[in-house]
Structure 1
Amino acid sequence: MTNTPTAHELWLRPYHPAPQDSDLTLVCFPHAGGSASYFRPLADALADTAEVLPVQYPGRQDRRAEPPLTSVARLADEIVTVLESLPRRRLVLFGHSMGACVAFEVARRIERGSSLDLRGLIASGRTAPPTLRDTKVRFMDDDAVIGEIRRLNGTDDRLLLDDDVIRMIMPAIRGDYLAVESYRYEPGPPLRCPVSVLVGDDDPQVTLAEAEEWRAHTAGDFRLRAFPGGHFYLAEQKDRVVRALAEDLARFR
């Protein structure tokens, strides 16, 4: 008899047990079309520092039979509910690209009325809300969508040449782009927790000036760091990114 996975088993991927000497959890939110496994290298590198829980959105990998959620608000609502079902720990949220948008909305919901202990938000590769850069990928045909993914250099080109792979991943990619491109910021008070922003200095999706605009969204400490590279500088600068995350985790304690 197959056991039905719990909500947190569906949504969160603990690649390592939580360190015994830390009650800090880093929750990682993937980019559009991305999956929890994208954060496996960071989870491995930070295994002794914090519990690392990458989020698995519906519609991909082991959740590919589920329809993707096409609303950032829906994603945020679901993820807050899942986090509230976990044992109480101090939380830091880390999102890249679309994931930064989802993480921001999760942080807002936590601070509006959850008992979760939010210690900080780390936003990567994303313009600050309410700035919009609507690339209209959701309206493109499959070839143009693949071209956009190649332009950002976030997926192995060999996978994008495999028709079976493309058919498997395209619903999630389209659902994610619909979610992030239709997202509209609702004005509200700034976060109380500190915000750290990471960005590639040659990112076609966000300029340094746009990354700096995240400062307006926190009443707490703010820090901006740029790394050599484009939109997926995270892979190119893994060691430096790991050090930056470790510094933020120590600072947010």
Structure 2
Amino acid sequence: MTDPERWLPYQASAGAVRLYCLPHAGGSASAFRSWIGAVPGVSVRPVQPPGREGRHRETPYEHMRDLVADLAEAVLADVAESGGGPYAVYGHSLGAMTAYELVRRVAAVGGPAPVHLLVSGCGAPELCGGLEGLVPIRQMTQPQIAELLRRLGGTPEWLLDNEALLGLVLPPFKADFTVKENYRYVPAAPLTVPVTAVAATDDPRASVADVAAWEAHTSAGFVLNTLMGGHFAALEQADLTRKYLASALAPWR
């Protein structure tokens, strides 16, 4: 049995609906720590994948199916422990892909469906597999990975220039990008869960059109919100993102 406390490192705050937040590749639960208590009526639950922060001694996943199998178990256990109330799932970039596959996994095992799926920084699932034109990340040298991170954005330059510190953060980053490289979308019927998406106008990894393509993956309603900025705009403009999330979850708050 998967221990939910390993996946959910922060104590649950008050809120009528729980929101499980999944980080981007190489990211951690701390990316959403400041969100706790910042969305009225919502108990923000940052998710901690293995291989980082308090779970740094654990081996990260390299395949989506293994990741979502254990994550679904942890989320469903936490939902049951909370009394079985409504919950939603949000993910940014790789976290959005994981959130989508998590919803599918929950349905496959007969668990209670979330009331909403929220995604940002990621095109529709059929557009997100692999890293076309790049050497597999497992074959890259540390300088090559540093240059990749520099091009992707979101990693401070002082960290990229420090070989010792960079070496500490590379294992989860490599594993997460291996998950992405190994991911192959398997077509399925649209979700019966509403979807809210956040796109950024200048995101080189997920255009507004690619994010808008999520609409085909739900039969329960779709809303697209747009921010000015690049790939990490949803995190950099967290106040606006939380506003969109709060609006999407208004019926359950």
Residues 140-169 of structure 1 deviation map (CA, whole Å, 9 limit, x = unaligned): 322122222222321222222222221111
Q: Which moved more, 1:139-148 or 1:220-229?
A: 139-148
- 2:172 equivalent in structure 1: 172
Residue 24 of structure 2 corresponds to residue 31 of structure 1? yes
Judged with a 3 Å threshold, the aligned counterparts in structure 2 of structure 1 residues 123 and 235 are, in CA distance, closer, same or farther, namely closer
How far apart are 1:91 and its partner, in Å?
1.2
Distance 2:119 2:252 in 1: 14
Residues 81-140 of structure 1 deviation map (CA, whole Å, 9 limit, x = unaligned): 111212222111000000000000001122234332410100110111111462435143
Q: Percent identity at matched positions?
A: 34
Matches within 5 A, 1:85-124: 85-86=77-78, 87=81, 88-124=84-120
Is the Cα contact below 8 Å between 2:86 and 2:114 reproduced in 1?
Answer: yes
Is the Cα contact below 8 Å between 1:111 and 1:191 reproduced in 2?
Answer: no
Runs of 4+ with >6 A deviation:
none
TM-score, length basis structure 1: 0.90
- 1:75 equivalent in structure 2: 67
Q: Aligned with 2:34: secondary structure?
A: helix
Q: Aligned with 1:190: secondary structure?
A: coil
Distance 2:154 2:34 in 1: 15
Distance 2:28 2:67 in 1: 14
Is the Cα contact below 8 Å between 1:37 and 1:54 reproduced in 2?
Answer: yes
Output the amino acid matched with 2:124.
Answer: A
Residues 47-97 of structure 1 deviation map (CA, whole Å, 9 limit, x = unaligned): x42111111111111111111100111111111111121222211100000
Residue 209 of structure 2 corresponds to residue 209 of structure 1? yes
Residues 174-220 of structure 1 deviation map (CA, whole Å, 9 limit, x = unaligned): 00000012100111111001011111110010111111111110011
Residues 17-73 of structure 1 deviation map (CA, whole Å, 9 limit, x = unaligned): 431xx3310000111000000111222422x42111111111111111111100111
- 2:36 equivalent in structure 1: 43
Is the Cα contact below 8 Å between 2:25 and 2:173 reproduced in 1?
Answer: yes
RMSD: 1.7
Residue 206 of structure 2 corresponds to residue 242 of structure 1? no
Output the amino acid matched with 1:68.
Answer: P
- 2:13 equivalent in structure 1: 18
TM-score, length basis structure 2: 0.90
Output the amino acid matched with 1:7.
Answer: D
Is the Cα contact below 8 Å between 2:13 and 2:37 reproduced in 1?
Answer: no
Where structure 2 has 5 or more consecutive residues not aligned to the other structure, the ranges are: none
Output the amino acid matched with 2:30.
Answer: S
Q: Aligned with 2:36: secondary structure?
A: helix
Distance 2:252 2:126 in 1: 25
Matches within 5 A, 1:123-202: 123-132=119-128, 134-135=131-132, 136=134, 138=137, 139-202=139-202
**Corresponding residue pairs, total:** 244
Distance 1:208 1:179 in 2: 23
Output the amino acid matched with 1:11.
Answer: W
Q: Aligned with 1:85: secondary structure?
A: helix
Q: Aligned with 2:126: secondary structure?
A: coil
